[in-house]
Structure 1
Amino acid sequence: MKKIVLIALTDGFADWEASYVSAEINEPDTGYQVKTIAIDQEPKTSMGGFRVLPDYTLNDLPEASHVAMLIIPGGTGWRAEHNQPFRSLVDLCLSRNIPVAAICDATTFLGNGGFLDHNKHTGNMLANLKSGAPNYKGDSYYVEAQSVSDGNLITANGSAAVEFSRLILEKLGVLEGDRLEEWYRVFKNGYLPA
């Protein structure tokens, strides 16, 4: 049975931020399958207008032993009170050593939940993180970088979908070494050097 990589969805999710990596993870020979999860079973509409029917809800989770990673794309919904129950899923994943990867405003969500207080991380600038996450206390762990991996947390700013994907692919072992570097150069630069 393939392990599940969950992608968290809210209304207004940033559809492009997990698109590079989900296509690679979902390749037939990776041993993984991508599934989506949301607060409820209502379709979620992305910033780009894609309507997605979630595979799972927070009340209907797959068995934790079947989950390989939780990916949280950014978007316009992470500061809304009705999406805060996702904290319990993040807590469950981290307590079971399941990596959590968050990009853009999803890092603000993690910061507000206290998940960034003890790991190196990045986000959409420290000032933005602090203003959007009043409970955030991880200033000393903040790194000015496109994407950061530390322990079971991967974070990225909103302009770093390719860097974010690279760290996820590496963490899952989907691509490694020269293959990973080639993938990264193609998607970052649009070509390989001659």
Structure 2
Amino acid sequence: MKKVLVFITDGFADWEASYVTAELNKPEAGFQVQTIAIDKNPKVSMGGLTVLPDYDLQDFSLKSEFSMLIIPGGTGWREKKNHQVEKLVSFCFGHNIPVAAICDATTFLGNYGFLDNYKHTGNSLPYLKEGAPNYRGDKEYIDKQSVNDGCLITANGSGALEFSRDILNKLDVLKGKELEEWYDLFKNGFIKK
């Protein structure tokens, strides 16, 4: 079974990865979702859910095989301590492991230069520039709910479904008509005929 890591912080936006993790964790998907954080202390989401991380950054071996790193947004990105994940993100980019970030996690990526050479989105270009003073990716910014470019998927905070659709497509969990029907069901409450 292939592993997908979700990096969590105190105050992570639990809904931003909930659609995709539920699909990935289905037995037939062939993936196992596991959480990673800066330490093994329980993390409390914005919605009040307490999660005990499977790994911390110190005990996680970069030699472990995993298929993707998903990084939800949330209030934790305002705390510098959570930026320790930069080393894991660098490893992913260096080994062609997809990274999927949404909301304020895109701002974190922007501040460390990960967005500069990829088409991407975020909460808005002004928000990204204000929150990430080292960001230099203006020319690659696209004003969309979710953007998929190579090994990078980014989304704004209101694009959880589009973000999930891009991840499911990237990992070959759902494709074509099946993926569009999944998206229509959650976005519109029905499948278009």
Q: TM-score range by the shorter chain?
A: over 0.9
CA distance in 1, matches of 2:150, 2:99: 10
Q: 1:106 — aligned with what? A: 105
- Aligned-residue sequence identity (percent) comes to 65
Amino acid at match of 1:61: F
Q: Which runs of 4+ in 1 moved over 4 A?
A: 62-65
**Unaligned residue ranges in structure 2 (runs of 5+):** none
- Gaps in structure 1 of 5+ consecutive residues: none
C-alpha contact (below 8 Å) 1:21/1:165 kept by paired residues: yes
Q: Once the two structures are superposed, what CA deviation does each residue of 1:85-125 show, in whole Å capped at 9, x if it has no partner?
A: 11001001111110000000000000001100100000000
Any conservation in 1 of the 2:181–2:192 contact (CA below 8 Å)?
Answer: no
2:31 counterpart of 1:32: yes
For the aligned residues, what is the CA RMSD? 1.0
Deviation at 1:79, TM superposition (A): 2.6
The two structures have a TM-score, normalised by structure 1, of 0.97
Shift of 1:163: 0.1
Secondary structure of the residue that 1:20 maps to in structure 2?
Answer: helix
How many residue pairs get aligned? The number is 193
- AA matched with 1:176: K
Q: Secondary structure at the match of 1:66?
A: coil
1:65, CA displacement in angstroms?
A: 5.2
Taking a change above 3 Å as real, the CA distance of residues 171 and 77 of structure 1, as seen in their structure-2 partners, is same
Corresponding residue for residue 17 of structure 1: 16
What amino acid maps onto 2:78 in structure 1?
R
Q: What is the aligned partner in structure 2 of residue 156 from structure 1? A: 155
Q: Deviations over 1:134-193 (max 9, x none)?
A: 010000000010100001000000000000000000000000111101001001111123
Cα distance in 2 between the residues matched to 1:152 and 1:21: 17
Amino acid paired to 1:173: D
Which residue number in structure 2 is paired with residue 122 of structure 1? 121
Q: Deviations over 1:38-74 (max 9, x none)?
A: 0000000000000000001101215545200000000
Partner of 1:141: 140
Give 1:169-184 correspondences, 5 Å limit: 169-184=168-183
CA contact (8 A) 1:36 1:54 kept: yes
- The question of 1:42 aligning with 2:41 is answered yes
